[in-house]
Amino acid sequence: MTETVASPATVVVAHQDQHYIGGEWVAGESGEFIDVVDPATEEIVGRVPSGTASEVDRAAKAARAAFDTWSQTPVEERLRILEAAVEAFKAREEDLVRVMSMEMGAPLGFSRAAQFALPLMTMETATEILRGFEFEYEANGVFLQREPIGVIGAITPWNFPLHQVALKVIPGLATGCTVVLKPSEVTPLSSVIFAEVLEAAGVPAGVFNLVQGAGPEVGEAIAGHPDIDLVSFTGSTRAGKRVSELASATVKRVTLELGGKSANIILEDADFEAAVTAGVGGCYLNTGQACNAPTRMLVPRARLAEAEEIAKRAAEKFVAGEACDGESPLGPVTTEAGLHRVRRYIEQGIEEGAKLVTGGSEPASERGYFVKPTVFSGVTPEMTIAREEIFGPVLSILTYDTEDEAVAIANDSEYGLGGWVWAGSVERGREIAKRMRTGQVYINGANIHPYAPFGGYKQSGNGREWGYYGFEECLETKAILG
């Protein structure tokens, strides 16, 4: 790994060496830093302070002190500040697109179309909701008041760095909560710019706080802190269990969005060419680093050969290349550990008897954490690659004989985050979707929707984000009688 000076494609992030606590940019007290690596080049492109539990304590106390005023700030004023944040976010588009391409390896086109566009969508949707949200109403003779829960501790992942930040922070601010954010130490630079955006929009001191650092130090301190009323975590199931354990000591609310192993059921009457092609593209979205990626493709047994042919053709259109050239449709996986993990899964799939249709575990480039787009067939439900989340561009094709069997295979998972169904009609697809034990199901390639609740069943977590449901997670309900 080599360190390089900033190139024309590198954005200098002014406050990368600092936390943002109580409305001030402050140096880290540990004097230690965490390097940020461009996974396309393996070069160090930035650094952030390695935070401590005492810095979390300072941030939580600042958020607690700011809560009384912010929670009572008129909705119209909160709305004005959020609208200003939207405009400030738009003004930093070029910086954010390049920073996210640089810190996580996303191709520039995808960084603009998803990594920038998704958080912007969340911010704009939140302002729409806030304009008409009923914090007080009467139902069945009872006066009900929805109040901000308090201080939110937000712990976010690296695969969609600002999308997950916005999903937690913006509804929190809109509902009158204050926030302590710990972004992933893998992709922390975009969150520095996000903090600059909120500062420029006039978010009062202490209402939003940013503490950089690793999970065992900063994340665990947030989860267990007595001044934090809600911890909202997105990440691995293993880490989510640890967050729940620590949070239980103070009986705070916990929302978790964890792993997934989503099934894509392609029915006999579906447009097979479109379904298989889209299924490959969905699996490879963000280089397969999406918790709801349709990584298990279920096809009728009699049409397996056809599915293999289409999937091979679709997969081989994806070519790994450096993220910042603006041309490659498939960036690297974001960490070196992730690279080794994905390659081990591919090797394990071969060892367990799956048929390698295309791809493999060999390096896809001389430098960078690039993985060959891979398709397995002949996968059975008990194989490791059919059960565990790989988080890379690896598709498993399974077969079924009846629709009941397809649903049973789809539900035979410890996860329940997402699902896909392809059918000859939306109505037929919905009948299958209703039987799938998952938080979301996309029929015939439907697009995401900013008002659709997002979250999972089983070990994919609890709670829901997006739209009105993101607001509800940040609120307590009070009944006033008489």
Reported as a single tens digit per residue, the pLDDT across 100-133 is 999 998 888 899 999 999 999 999 999 999 999 9
Could you report the per-residue pLDDT of 218-268, keeping only the tens digit for each?
999 999 999 999 999 999 999 999 999 999 999 999 999 999 999 999 999
**Which pLDDT score, from 0 to 100, does residue 10 have?**
62
DSSP string across 330-348? B---S-HHHHHHHHHHHHH
Could you report the per-residue pLDDT of 364-415, keeping only the tens digit for each?
988 999 999 999 999 999 999 999 999 999 999 999 999 999 999 999 999 9
Mean pLDDT of the region 292-315: 98
pLDDT band at 8 (very low <50, low <70, confident <90, very high): very low
Q: How far apart are CA 23 and CA 17, in angstroms?
A: 16
Judged against a pLDDT cut of 50, whether residue 418 lies above it is answered with yes
Judged against a pLDDT cut of 60, whether residue 327 lies above it is answered with no
Domains of the chain: 11-135+146-258 (3.40.605.10), 263-446 (3.40.309.10)
Q: Buried (b) or exposed (e) across 51-74, using 16+ Cβ within 10 A?
A: bbbebbbbbbbbbbbbbeebbeee
Compute the radius of gyration of the chain from its Cα atoms.
22
Contacts of 214 (CB under 8 A, 6+ apart): 34, 50, 51, 185
Q: How far apart are CA 76 and CA 66, in angstroms?
A: 18
Q: How far apart are CA 39 and CA 123, in angstroms?
A: 28
Q: What amino acid positions are annotated as catalytic residues?
A: 257, 291
Helices (H), 47-182: 53-72, 75-91, 93-104, 108-110, 117-132, 161-174
**Which pLDDT score, from 0 to 100, does residue 375 have?**
98
The strand order across the sheet containing 142-148 reads: 136-139, 142-148, 475-480
**Which pLDDT score, from 0 to 100, does residue 363 have?**
87
The pLDDT mean for the chain works out to 95
Mean pLDDT of the region 349-360: 98
**Which pLDDT score, from 0 to 100, does residue 5 have?**
31
Judged against a pLDDT cut of 70, whether residue 2 lies above it is answered with no
Q: How far apart are CA 104 and CA 289, in angstroms?
A: 11
Q: How far apart are CA 54 and CA 60, in angstroms?
A: 10
| Cα 345 to chain centroid, rounded | 22
Any idea which of 2-16, 251-265, 442-456 has the lowest mean pLDDT? 2-16
**What are the angstrom distances between the C-alpha of 206 and each of 20, 45, 179, 199?**
9, 29, 8, 11
Q: How buried is 86 (Cβ within 10 angstroms: 0-12 exposed, 13-18 middle, 19+ buried)?
A: middle
Provide the percentage of residues in the chain whose pLDDT is more than 70. Answer: 96
Provide the percentage of residues in the chain whose pLDDT is more than 90. Answer: 93
pLDDT band at 75 (very low <50, low <70, confident <90, very high): very high
pLDDT band at 322 (very low <50, low <70, confident <90, very high): low
